[in-house]
Amino acid sequence: MSDFEFIPTEKQIQESNIYKFMKKHNLSSFDELSHKAKNDLEWFWKSVDEDIGIDDSLYR
């Protein structure tokens, strides 16, 4: 097994979609996002749908 470990730069982190999503929803850590998503699935999926622009009318 390889010892390779990818560690993103601060710029890469700040340009990531998950970072932008967390900032948009005032979440300061991945643990906070995970906790909120687990405890409020309706909020999470609605927010994800809005964030990535899913047009759910295609499935009706």
Whole-model pTM: value is 0.76
CA 17, 22, 19, 4 torsion: positive or negative?
negative
In a domain, 39, yes or no: yes
In a domain, 57, yes or no: no
In a domain, 26, yes or no: yes
Per-residue pLDDT tens for 1-36? Answer: 789 999 999 999 999 999 999 999 999 999 999 999
Range of the domain at 36: 21-50
What pLDDT is recorded for position 2?
Answer: 82
In a domain, 9, yes or no: no
In a domain, 3, yes or no: no
Could you count the other beta carbons within 10 Å of the beta carbon of residue 49? 12
The DSSP annotation for 7-50 comes to: ---HHHHHTSHHHHHHHHTT--SHHHHHHHHHH-HHHHHHHHHH
In a domain, 56, yes or no: no
